[in-house]
Amino acid sequence: MAEVSEGRDVAEIEESKGQEGYELLSKLGVPASLGERMLLLSPKPQVEEELPEALRAEEQMEYDKTKYDFRSHVAALLHWAGPKIGFGCFGSSNELELFQAKEEVFSSFKYEKRSRQCILDSSEFLACYELLLKEVVCPNLKTKLKQDGPIAFYCQFPPTLRLQPGPSERPRRLHRDAEFGHQANTWAFSSIRANHANLRYANAAGAGYSEPSVTEMNRRDGPTKAEILMGRRQRGCLFRGQSCGVTPFGLGVALFACVDFMEKDGEVNFWMPLTNYDRTKTTLWVESKPNANDFHPLSLDVGKIAMFHGTLVRHYAPPNSTTFLRVSMDFRVGVGRYFDPDWKLEGLQHYHGRRKITL
């Protein structure tokens, strides 16, 4: 929390933790990132009902790419914003795939904040986005709910624009959006046990551990708030009667806590490519449900939108090995009584804006 309060966002902090360490703890079912550990201590969102299964399932929807011409709007935005911000420029062609972007634009939170302001200054782009929400996205969600009467949709505004230049070996790490303040009920430690198979796995990956004494193990029932937030305990144990692991990644959390998710409320993710998949050959990879570990690519092209429950479902973007720029847009929508519009994950430096649309 100290790192966050001093002006560093969770995204910036976790960028330095290392993909290897995050994936190791994620496979063990441990809240590996600072955002996840903050969520453990956060008050739960106040919702009336659990998000229906129909809104948690991965699906695709289509839109008229001529009417909602995001490619042209984004090209116009990059034409003036690229040189202004300093992350790239067009050469002899204004095709999105040929925009010459710096590699840092894909992972730098500094550039992300600057590009967000440029999007807010682009009235035509925002008008097109709002029209898509009102005419395509929200009506589609309402149809799935099969409910009478008006429904409020709390839409991210503005959306997030992603630029992934290539060739590059830099991926977007595996994560779930709950780490970054998107709405989900707090994780619960459903069972805590010493898992020696996991211990061997951790040792094979180079993680050291210490066996506390019986007295130390039974000293108290659970971790302090500071220990959960910082993930650092150099000796003893976070949970009574359990072995502890201290990883080489500065996380030091217990490696053997079995973490389950509680109610699956929150937001619905939408992801849409704005560049030609045949050229970039790079896309978002997602799992079918939380911790399923069955990752698959979203093989979409311009004119389609993927919907999935990214708050809890993990996803990542592999490196772009081509010479073409990959551009995509993503946003989240909170739905009616399944979403708490007043809830925020305390400690974040940035929260997405919302626009309420009632249908």
Spell out the domain ranges in the chain: 2-41+188-260, 56-183+267-358
Mean pLDDT of 325-338: 95
Confidence of residue 137 (pLDDT cuts 50, 70, 90): very high
Two tokens, residue 52? 């229906």
Preceding peptide of 167 cis, ω within 30°: yes
pLDDT at 347: 67
Q: Which residue has the higher pLDDT, 266 or 186?
A: 266
Mean pLDDT of 25-47: 61
Q: Which of 148-157, 222-231, 298-307 has the lowest mean pLDDT?
A: 222-231
Provide the Cα torsion 310, 311, 317, 318; round to 10°: -100
How far is the C-alpha of 30 from the C-alpha of 355, rounded, in Å? 34
Q: Which residue has the higher pLDDT, 266 or 236?
A: 266
Is the pLDDT confidence value at 215 over 60? no
Residue with tokens 């979403």: 339
How far is the C-alpha of 288 from the C-alpha of 291, rounded, in Å? 9
How far are the Cα atoms of 17, 74, 109, 158, 302 from residue 284, in angstroms, in the given order?
22, 19, 19, 20, 14
Residue with tokens 């996840």: 36
Is the pLDDT confidence value at 195 over 60? no
How far is the C-alpha of 342 from the C-alpha of 351, rounded, in Å? 12
How far is the C-alpha of 229 from the C-alpha of 327, rounded, in Å? 34
At 279-296, the pLDDT tens digits run 999 999 999 998 888 999
Residue with tokens 């929807």: 61
Q: Decide if 209 contacts 255 (C-beta within 8 A).
A: yes
Structure letter (DSSP) for residue 275: S
Confidence of residue 348 (pLDDT cuts 50, 70, 90): low
Q: Which residue has the higher pLDDT, 246 or 67?
A: 67
pLDDT at 349: 65
How far is the C-alpha of 345 from the C-alpha of 178, rounded, in Å? 9
pLDDT at 109: 75
Share of the chain above pLDDT 70, in %: 62
Phi and psi at residue 89, in whole multiples of 5°?
-160, 165
pLDDT at 36: 60
Q: Compute the mean pLDDT over every residue in the chain, rounded to the nearest whole number.
A: 73
At 53-112, the pLDDT tens digits run 999 999 999 999 999 999 999 999 999 998 988 889 999 999 999 999 998 888 777 777
Is the pLDDT confidence value at 302 over 60? yes
- Pick left, alpha or beta for residue 19 (phi over 0 → left; psi -120 to 50 → alpha; otherwise beta): alpha
Q: Which residue has the higher pLDDT, 79 or 226?
A: 79
Structure letter (DSSP) for residue 98: G
pLDDT at 49: 87
How far is the C-alpha of 152 from the C-alpha of 138, rounded, in Å? 9
Is the pLDDT confidence value at 200 over 70? no
pTM of the full structure: 0.72
Share of the chain above pLDDT 90, in %: 44
Question: Which CATH code fits 56-183+267-358?
Answer: 2.60.120.620
Task: Specify the DSSP element, H or E, that contains 315.
Answer: strand 315-317
pLDDT at 255: 28
Confidence of residue 219 (pLDDT cuts 50, 70, 90): very low
How far is the C-alpha of 6 from the C-alpha of 101, rounded, in Å? 30
* Amino acid identity, position 80: W
Is the pLDDT confidence value at 13 over 50? no
Per-residue buried b or exposed e for 16-53, using 16+ beta carbons within 10 Å of the residue's own CB: ebbeebbbbbbbbbbbbbbbbbbbbebeebebeeebee
Per-residue buried b or exposed e for 169-187, using 16+ beta carbons within 10 Å of the residue's own CB: ebbbbbbbbbbbbbbbbeb
Give the residue among 196, 10, 232, 252 at the shortest CA–CA distance from 112: 10
pLDDT at 254: 29
